[in-house]
Amino acid sequence: MSLQTQIAIIGAGIAGLTMAIKLKRMGFSDFTVIEAANEIGGTWRGCSSDVAIHLYSLSSDLCPDWMHSHALQPDILQYWLQLTAKYGLDRNISLDHKVVSAEWNGGGYDILAETGDGTRIPLTAKVLVSAVGRLGVPRFPDIPGVAEFRGVSFHSARWDTSVSLAGKRVAVVGNGPSATQFVPIISQDPSVQVTQYCRSPRWLAPPALSQYSAAQRWLFRHSPCYLRAFRSFQFFWKTDHEKYLTRYMKRVVPLEYWEEAIPSGPNLSLCPDHEQNRFFVLLTSTGSEQDDYFISIKGNAGQCVAEYYVAQGGPTAYLGTTLPGFANLFFISGGNTATGSSSVLLAVEIQTEYIIQLIQPILDGNISSLEVTVGATEAYNRYLQVKLTGFVWSKCSSWYRTGGDGKVYATFPGPMTLFWCWLRRPNWDHYTFHSATGWKPQRSVLGGIIPTCWCCCPEISRIS
């Protein structure tokens, strides 16, 4: 027999947990978080946050006890475990349950999850929330002959802790954020000989891990106003990154490597090194597969999410959250939600608040389903793509684009404040809904004005 729940959330990373916490805070408990792994917390393990940790904490649950400006993964995991206990989420989370499919059944979704031993668990939910993150599926480099490598090989996102690197020659492929964090750590052991292969130069920032003084932590704990003000300051603090980073790199990179190591334009290639080397360990740190959707979720239009993405040239959503043809399905961190300038957690919170407003009439029994219109989605995405042409993301190849060079699907072309403005209140004109009770959304004056700002743009006013 199928288990029943009002809301199914796929993923117990910070996004799924944030959604669960918001629901608990409104006194709602009839939801299930379905998590493939055996523990909560999500994809990233073993590294440090790269934004200030006070910004990488929930606004509803600021933590006065952070010791450093940027926390390491065990401390971040501890924070989320504490919140899970505080909100009694254990009862709502099913670990070791991988969602393999979901299909619209006319009033909700029939969901199928699979446990590690292959047991299949059916579940039905009125509302489905996808919180599966973006960095969970490793991408492997397409290097000719790599399959014949006879040594040990693994991706940094699937670190093989049974392999000791001591005394080994190690090849690292990639110089993105992950490699940048682990290369200094593995090369601390002088017996490990590390050679790093870099396709293009990267900006490097000084390690950001300053310790808070005892006085500052006392203030965090005893003055909530100070804690909030400190967090807000971090949100608005900006610098000329290029000048700052160039200055830093010139300080730490030997003069003879400046030209090769310091980025001077999009995707400047380094001189190829044809020297052949022999290695025992091949450590690929080449990012993750992001422009696909790996769960077979079929909506009311009979299409799967992955098919919709292919038809749209890559991940696409309305306000990064809803897709036409997929009633009652909501995405956290869907297409074009990363601002590139702020914490992912802020975007996650904004989206969860938005989703809760959308699903409230479903939970209240006023409507049975809702779906974003094709017109609103197309107009919004046209607008985004026009805006994005002015950003560097459109001018270089990267994992922010479909296939590396296609549509920019990952980033939002504006500051987090704009994202917040647009998602503050739903624009109900952009949704269709089924109501047996004749329910009509309430439109507040302020709520109506703010989200329509983007509708005034010429591209948006072409909404059909």
Which residues contribute to the site for ligand FAD (CB under 6 A)?
Answer: 10-16, 34-37, 42-44, 47, 49-51, 56, 98-99, 131-133, 135-136, 178, 295, 333, 343-345
What is the closest distance, in whole angstroms, from the C-beta atom of residue 185 to ligand FAD in the complex?
A: 12
What is the closest distance, in whole angstroms, from the C-beta atom of residue 137 to ligand FAD in the complex?
A: 8
Long-range pairs, 453-460, Cβ under 8 A, ≥24 = 453/421, 453/422, 454/380, 454/383, 454/422, 455/427, 457/383, 459/379, 459/382, 459/383, 459/386, 460/379, 460/380, 460/382, 460/383
Q: Residue 372: CB partners within 8 Å, gap ≥ 6?
A: 318, 322, 323, 324, 430, 431
Nearer of residues 51 and 170 to ligand FAD, judged by Cβ: 51
What is the closest distance, in whole angstroms, from the C-beta atom of residue 190 to ligand FAD in the complex?
A: 25
Pull the structure tokens for residue 329. Answer: 């399905």
Nearer of residues 72 and 396 to ligand FAD, judged by Cβ: 72
What is the closest distance, in whole angstroms, from the C-beta atom of residue 130 to ligand FAD in the complex?
A: 9
Nearer of residues 116 and 403 to ligand FAD, judged by Cβ: 116
Nearer of residues 333 and 398 to ligand FAD, judged by Cβ: 333
d(CA 220, CA 224): 6
d(CA 344, CA 44): 13
CA angle 251, 257, 259 (to 5 degrees): 100
Nearer of residues 99 and 372 to ligand FAD, judged by Cβ: 99
Cβ(339)–Cβ(415) below 8 Å: yes
Nearer of residues 46 and 447 to ligand FAD, judged by Cβ: 46
Name the residue type at position 60: S
Cβ(203)–Cβ(241) below 8 Å: yes
Closest CA to 400 of 166, 134, 148: 134
Nearer of residues 136 and 314 to ligand FAD, judged by Cβ: 136
What is the closest distance, in whole angstroms, from the C-beta atom of residue 341 to ligand FAD in the complex?
A: 10
Nearer of residues 337 and 368 to ligand FAD, judged by Cβ: 337
Nearer of residues 54 and 387 to ligand FAD, judged by Cβ: 54
- Pairing status of strand 93-94 against strand 169-173: unpaired
Pull the structure tokens for residue 462. Answer: 């072409």
Nearer of residues 393 and 428 to ligand FAD, judged by Cβ: 393
What is the closest distance, in whole angstroms, from the C-beta atom of residue 47 to ligand FAD in the complex?
A: 4
Closest CA to 209 of 80, 66, 411: 66
Pull the structure tokens for residue 246. Answer: 């160039």
Cβ(9)–Cβ(20) below 8 Å: yes
> What is the maximal distance between C-alpha atoms in the chain?
73
What is the closest distance, in whole angstroms, from the C-beta atom of residue 165 to ligand FAD in the complex?
A: 19
Nearer of residues 418 and 463 to ligand FAD, judged by Cβ: 418
What is the closest distance, in whole angstroms, from the C-beta atom of residue 207 to ligand FAD in the complex?
A: 13
